[in-house]
Homo-oligomer: A and B are copies of this chain.
Amino acid sequence: MANDKKMVDQITSMDEDFAKWYTDICKKADLIDYSSVKGCMIIRPYGYAIWELIQKNLDGRFKETGHENVYMPMFIPESLLNKEKEHVEGFAPEVAWVTHGGSEPLQERLCVRPTSETLFCEHYANIIKSYRDLPKLYNQWCSVVRWEKTTRPFLRSREFLWQEGHTMHATAEEAEEETIRMLNIYADFHEKDLAIPVIKGRKTESDKFAGAEATYAIEALMHDGKALQAGTSHYFGDGFAKAFDIKYTDRDNKLKYPHQTSWGVTTRMIGGIIMTHADNNGLVLPPAVAPVQVVIIPVQQHKEGVLEAANALADRLRSRFRVKVDASDNSPGWKFSEYEMKGVPLRIEIGPRDIAEGKCVSVKRYNREKNFESLENIEETVARRLDEIRDGMYEKALENRQRRTYDCTTLDEIRDSIKNGGDGLVMAMWCGDEECEDRVKAETGVGSRCIPFEQKHISDKCVCCGKPAKHMVCWAIAY
């Protein structure tokens, strides 16, 4: 068990230094590495395998709802970026500029895409002519670049991986439906597959995407009481269509502007998994995106029949689960802590006595629950345990969020709640005035995260000015 202790000691405790705990996990669970490219990260095989599982799951959901994948150039000519005024103002300050090709200066500089609305719009102007061409439901998996000053693995880096959906519809209603449909897909994926409870809502005017008419987001509460925006879906109306002169002939033979959406999630979700589920022993992965769902550790593996039994068990499980047997020379204790660090959802131990009794031991990573399992029907048992793990992880995260959600009616209540209960989500009424929104942040520290779809009546009055309230807003310190 000496080894076990040694590994765990390598992580800073969450309570001591949350930021360091976070980066320790990113490094020690072999998710990322740094390089001489400042502000960018290397996603290592274990981290990338999580991303591949995320991609596969979401890509399936996108295709089921009629979306098609495309690939656009990674560069955007400056003149193209400039076509939609609000959009360029939002992004120009944080893009990387290519100015030379080989040894020659370019006639027009190109930015590395921070997002691809402009490219999609230029393409849509080419290919959308008639109502028969609508809707267009495109998605792209790629990397984008935003020249951030302060960066953290997965949460904020100069280059990150994402998907960006860009769709065009005949009517505003259809486009609005699409915006919400995709937000719901993101929410469902987070809750069912990542076991992360989310709050769906609309962003306030001040927090909208550059060029959007409405931005919707899902927000999740992290271990440290801060909120993470985990996915966004934007409704653009026909603003870009007008700027890019995208028109279609409708059934009534009139020329009309189509209505547009875009929506995206990024590798940031991996940061969300860490800060929702991980603990002081390392990563804790939800089964749906765990590269290894079940690790089998042979105990007293030098004894006759142990390795064979472990491998036979793995063979039985392999058709349904991602399984690994660790038959290396390391001690079982070292292995236990290694796979705890890696966040493998279920550990199975099997030794001579278990084999004699037709049994094995299963241990859940997230709560260390230990069960003696019959080897009969072990496939069904493992399936049930993994379901229990997903459900248990979700419940635990939901309880944490409920415990740290404060309904407040005054700025003092907000300050007191945070002071006594720690950072968390504040639910409080708002008059809709941007000045109040700013004052809440300036005076209490929490900013508006979204106007939740599920509204609660906390009081009649704005938490800030006392005038009649329009919405309940979710406020928090955000990543």
Contacts and interface: CB of A to CB of B under 8 A. Distances in A.
B99 A71 contact: no
A93 B103 contact: yes
A75 interface: yes
Contact of A98 (B69, B80, B97): B97
A45 B68 contact: yes
A110 B35 CA distance: 13
A79 B70 CA distance: 34
Contact of A49 (B49, B52, B69, B79): B69
Given A93-B103, A96-B101, A102-B93, A73 B35 contact: yes
Interface string A27-57: 0000001011100111111001101100000
A33 B69 contact: no
Nearest to A101: B147
This chain: copies in complex:
2
A68 B42 contact: no
B43 A159 contact: no
A interface bracket (residues with beta carbon within 8 Å of B): 35 or more
A42 B69 contact: no
A110 B98 CA distance: 9
B52 A159 contact: no
A45 B138 contact: yes
Nearest to A98: B96
Interface stretch (A1-9, A121-129, A280-288, A341-349): A121-129
A325 interface: no
Interface of A is mostly: mixed
Contacts of A458: none
Given A93-B103, A102-B93, A138-B45, A71 B161 contact: yes
A112 interface: yes
Contact of A73 (B40, B70, B76, B99): B40
A231 to B, nearest CB: 20
A43 B68 contact: no
B97 A37 contact: no
A124 to B, nearest CB: 10
A99 B100 CA distance: 8
B102 A99 contact: no
A94 interface: yes
A59 to B, nearest CB: 9
A289 to B, nearest CB: 15
Contact of A45 (B45, B69, B95, B159): B69
- What 10 A-B pairs have minimum CB-CB distances, sorted nearest first? A40-B73, A45-B68, A101-B147, A43-B71, A37-B73, A97-B100, A99-B99, A96-B98, A102-B147, A93-B102
Interface of A: 33, 35-37, 40-45, 48-49, 51-52, 68-77, 79-80, 92-103, 110, 112, 119, 122-123, 126-127, 138, 142-143, 145, 147, 158-159, 161
